[in-house]
Structure 1
């Protein structure tokens, strides 16, 4: 018999309180996870307000990725000590997820900013600008790699960025040595890189040299890169510069934004040194 001085909830009322359907409560009862506090002689189920907190903890643990089986295992050995340890473990998980979400938010912000800026770029322009020193995270040396090894190097670099949480949202670029560019081997990169505006301790970095750079944009597939490089060399010579140690390339528009390779845009940044003639 129900105690008239205590408020009990029918399955429907309790389901509404918990914002789930009745079948969820019936299923929890069937698997022994959350059973009604009592049943009357007509087999009607009744829940108490105290069981709401119990239900809330189940939903909390589910939201944190625990399976119903794992939750059942905890419920089979409940104690204040075990609950405290469980909550501490879940807090660590939440802290890790929050860091991951903050990193994703940062990546999204970078993508928004760089794409918005690209909308106003004149891809026919060539300019000479002073670059401050930048910190880059590099791949292993890939100079003179075969196509197969290059594909693997890209895959390994992406995995490394993800594993070390060094994906900053900036495009993956390629660095080419001076001698390769002068020989016309524009895509014989020595390293892949990603910019690191806030370098994290414990990782080796490369400092891009501060100085003058000539900047241009190549529209189209990589097979026609030479045409843009020739334009850059002509302007460089007219301005009294020679090619410095490295050339940096990175996509402005790639397959994420454009469907056709003919519409891809590559930003080319070439280190400059003054041509001191005798």
Structure 2
């Protein structure tokens, strides 16, 4: 190697600076992503200070989910304009990831809060409560649909919640209209919903006005829900209140926290008129 004031790094030195093992640099050389400036007569690789910066960019792009294949495509076709365009794209990706992380953080906080509150509940109690106005994001109508169609609606609803950053961590609930309750069709739901604590502008929501609800809890599988509904309807008669416009249902405990359906807990909130 000629005497020069230019400083070069061995593979081991660059690997240490980049906090990777030497095999990573060997692989990058093999696929044409980051090759040494030169190799001496013994085959030792030498890298420049500029390549340290380039490795930092490669590492950044990898962390953002860009494949080595796409990064190599840029390496082969690089230019200042393409680099700037790539950086703009990656900045948008970071903004998207930040929104996803913030949504997941809200989801975790909500689930912690709900689970802590659930531990204080007496599931045998029936209470008459005045609930404040609440805002829900609804699925499309699911009355009288087949199981296959229900799966499609549910999958689409979950995707929409996630992609639109509307998943608050609250349980996905279901709304049943008054007509179905009167007919005893307690599980013929009209829509799925998710509570929106801070509704986003530009979205269509269902606003549930302030009102009174008879609230009870069903412990067990869905196919035994009717027994709890019958108990709630009997309590309505005793309290001399009448059925309102709809009923809300949502899981308190499901297969996320319980292994047996017999231990599932469903919260039932019947809108009533005093």
- TM-score if structure 1 supplies the norm length? 0.92
> How many aligned positions are there?
274
| Separation in structure 2 between the aligned mates of residue 87 and residue 35 of structure 1, nearest angstrom | 22
Deviations 1:140-199 (A, max 9, x none): 222233444333332332233234332221111111122321222111111111111111
| Separation in structure 2 between the aligned mates of residue 254 and residue 149 of structure 1, nearest angstrom | 22
| Separation in structure 1 between the aligned mates of residue 30 and residue 151 of structure 2, nearest angstrom | 52
The runs of at least 4 aligned residues of structure 1 exceeding 4 Å deviation read: none
Q: Which residue of 2 aligns with 1:245?
A: 245
SS of 1:29 mapped into structure 2: helix
CA separation of 1:260 and 1:67: change in aligned 2, threshold 3 A:
same
Q: Which residue of 1 aligns with 2:12?
A: 12
Q: Which residue of 2 aligns with 1:157?
A: 157
SS of 1:137 mapped into structure 2: strand
| Separation in structure 1 between the aligned mates of residue 163 and residue 17 of structure 2, nearest angstrom | 42
Q: Which residue of 2 aligns with 1:3?
A: 3
- Give unpaired runs (5+ residues) of structure 2: none
| Separation in structure 1 between the aligned mates of residue 154 and residue 169 of structure 2, nearest angstrom | 16
Structure 1 residue 224, shift from structure 2 partner: 1.8
Deviations 1:214-246 (A, max 9, x none): 111000112222221222223222222111111
Report if the CA contact (8 A) 2:135-2:197 is conserved: yes
Report if the CA contact (8 A) 2:136-2:205 is conserved: yes
Q: Which residue of 1 aligns with 2:76?
A: 76
Structure 1 residue 4, shift from structure 2 partner: 5.5
SS of 1:251 mapped into structure 2: strand
- Give unpaired runs (5+ residues) of structure 1: none
Report if the CA contact (8 A) 2:173-2:193 is conserved: yes
Shifted more, 93-102 versus 4-13: the winner is 4-13
SS of 2:255 mapped into structure 1: coil
| Separation in structure 2 between the aligned mates of residue 261 and residue 37 of structure 1, nearest angstrom | 64
Shifted more, 112-121 versus 75-84: the winner is 75-84
SS of 1:267 mapped into structure 2: strand
| Separation in structure 2 between the aligned mates of residue 148 and residue 69 of structure 1, nearest angstrom | 39
| Separation in structure 2 between the aligned mates of residue 153 and residue 8 of structure 1, nearest angstrom | 60
Q: Which residue of 1 aligns with 2:220?
A: 220
Aligned Cα RMSD in Å? 1.8
SS of 1:189 mapped into structure 2: coil
Aligned ranges 1:1-278 → 2 under 5 Å: 1-3=1-3, 5-274=5-274
| Separation in structure 2 between the aligned mates of residue 100 and residue 45 of structure 1, nearest angstrom | 41
SS of 1:117 mapped into structure 2: helix
Structure 1 residue 37, shift from structure 2 partner: 2.2
Deviations 1:52-107 (A, max 9, x none): 11111111112122222222221223332222222111111111111111111111
